[in-house]
Amino acid sequence: MTTAGTATRVGGIELDDPIKVKQQAMWASADFAIIGTTLQIVGEQLCEGIDLRAGARVLDVAAGNGNATLAAARRFATVTSTDYVPAFLDHGRERAAAEGLGVTFQVADAEALPFPDASFDVIVSTFGVMFTPNHERSAAEMVRVCRPGGTIGLASWTPTGFLGDMFRTIAKHVPPIPGVRSPLLWGTDAHLQTLFKGCAISHTVRHFNFRYRSPEHMLDIFRTFYGPTHKAFAALDAEHQQALEHDLLTLFKNASRGGDSGLVIPAEYLETTIVR
């Protein structure tokens, strides 16, 4: 719940919910770009899935280090990339500059987008907006800034896929924040139908393959650079860290389809097209 007088200023914006402040700090605690760049193909597939056209006004919400941002800019769209972690946008800005892509980057809260109504033709978010604490508010904001007849494209991890298994494994050791609904609900048709009432919604189930040298290599990367895992280990003493490490390594080994030639874990996600 939002409490009056508790707003915290982060990166030039005010976050009005203590839970959101904690989440922002969690994501900012690690260099997500190390993992984020491996997900680039998801942004490319999303832009193809929504049939993005050159010249479209595109807003990337909770953009991270800019996978969907870059994919849209490569298709000659006019792109604004937003996130509430300034360091993430810095990475996106560097990537866009390296390719000579003209992108506008702006720190913004997905639950209070600083844009007028109907400002964009297309709204996209890959594994970003799903982590906002107030699902209805963030969905309403995306609808508000999307023009009538425009498109919202989402990529969201599913509760039945690998990320669902990983989050449940972590939750056995470090319980989630009380009262916060699972981000994995965004990977279900029923929840999206509720969030985007009155819109035409279609889905494609896809899989992203996590590829690492070994389960130990993946654990090291996620423990160091993925905010939720990084913070989970930091919250535990040495004995409980070993228990979480054991359970995650077991999960990674069992989920891998790579055999002896390296770790390959298919992770299910829902690609969603919403027409306002």
Per-position DSSP letters for 203-271, written without gaps between them: EEEEEEEEEES-HHHHHHHHHHH-HHHHHHHHTS-HHHHHHHHHHHHHHHHHH---GGG-EEEEEEEEE
Tokens of 258: 């790579």
Could you report the per-residue pLDDT of 74-105, keeping only the tens digit for each? 999 999 999 999 999 999 999 999 999 999 99
Closest to 23 in 3D by CA, of 231, 221, 233, 248: 231
Q: What is the mean pLDDT of residues 124-146?
A: 97
Give the three-state DSSP class for 5: coil
Q: What is the chain's Cα-based Rg?
A: 18
Ranges 12-21, 23-32, 97-106, 226-235: which has the least confidence: 12-21
Strand order across the 200-212 sheet: 103-107, 78-83, 57-60, 120-126, 146-157, 263-275, 200-212
At residue 53, what are phi and psi to the nearest 5 degrees? Answer: -110, 150
SS3 assignment, position 106: strand
Say whether pLDDT at 119 is over 90.
yes
Indicate the fold that domain 8-166+176-210+269-275 takes in CATH.
Rossmann fold (3.40.50)
- Token pair for residue 111? 């639950």
Structure tokens at 59: 């807003």
Residue 84 near residue 63 (C-beta atoms within 8 A): no
Q: Cβ of 201: how many Cβ atoms within 10 Å?
A: 17
What backbone torsions phi and psi does residue 159 show, to the nearest 5 degrees?
A: -70, -20
Rounded to whole angstroms, the Cα distance separating 145 from 167 reads 31
Give the pLDDT confidence score for residue 17 in this predicted structure.
Answer: 76
The span from the CA of 257 to the CA of 263, in Å, is: 7
Q: How far apart are CA 32 and CA 269, in angstroms?
A: 19
pLDDT in tens, 189-243: 999 999 999 999 999 999 999 999 999 999 999 999 999 999 999 999 999 999 9
DSSP state of 18: H
Asked whether 66 and 60 are in contact (CB, 8 A), the reply is yes
Structure-derived torsion over alpha carbons of residues 63, 95, 122, 45, reported in degrees to the nearest 10: -90
